[in-house]
Amino acid sequence: MPASFHRLASGWRTLGLAVALPATLAGFSPATHAADVVVVTDSQHTVKTMGGERLIELDAASRIEAELSVGLPADPEQATAIVKRRLNEGGSDFQRCLATAYQGVADAWSLGITSIPAVVVDQRYVVYGEPDVARALARIEQHRRSQP
């Protein structure tokens, strides 16, 4: 066989390993056993996320409202007009962001979150006080394995 074929075959093996290895390792990741991961926190409690989880910041809505109310006049009619204009200027993305922030608060409340940070898995398991999502997921997975 020509030498170029060996280089090509070696490249394909490397590509196959690059594709197969992460998929294989993902099977051992605690996150793969969790269908739904929600992290509840606020701007004062930073968390180390893994990616893929839903992040709810409980104070996001109040931060957005503070942005909307910067420099408003004392006259309620003028203030209302300015806020409406700002909401319209922000467009649908801004309004969606505000709606998502409020929905997050409602979802955290419905999950029964009592303190933050909280990592919730499958709306069934929760770890409080752990700012590292990977460690929280590992603790949940360990608990799942110990419980038949």
- The range of the structural domain enclosing residue 132 comes to 34-143
Query: Is the link from the previous residue into 117 a cis peptide, with omega within 30 of 0?
Result: yes
The pLDDT value given to residue 147 = 85
Decide which of 78 and 15 is more confident.
78
pLDDT in tens, 81-129: 999 999 899 888 988 999 999 999 999 999 999 999 999 999 999 999 9
4 lies in a domain?
A: no
Residues 6+ apart with CB under 8 A from 81: none
40 lies in a domain?
A: yes
CA 29, 144, 142, 128 torsion: positive or negative?
A: positive
102 lies in a domain?
A: yes
* Confidence class for position 148, pLDDT limits 50, 70, 90: low
Inter-residue contact 55 to 99 (CB < 8 Å): no
Give the torsion through C-alpha atoms of 77, 82, 83, 89, to 10 deg. 150
Number of structural domains found in the chain: 1
Q: What's the count of helices (H) and strands (E) in the chain, helices before strands?
A: 4, 4
Residues 6+ apart with CB under 8 A from 101: 57, 60, 61, 64
71 lies in a domain?
A: yes
Residue type, 128: Y
pLDDT in tens, 28-64: 444 444 469 999 999 999 999 999 999 999 999 999 9
28 lies in a domain?
A: no
In angstroms, what is the C-alpha Rg of the chain?
A: 23
Structure tokens at 73: 């006049």
11 lies in a domain?
A: no
The pLDDT value given to residue 9 = 43
The pLDDT value given to residue 97 = 93
135 lies in a domain?
A: yes
17 lies in a domain?
A: no
Which of helix, strand or coil describes residue 126?
strand
Structure tokens at 113: 């979150």
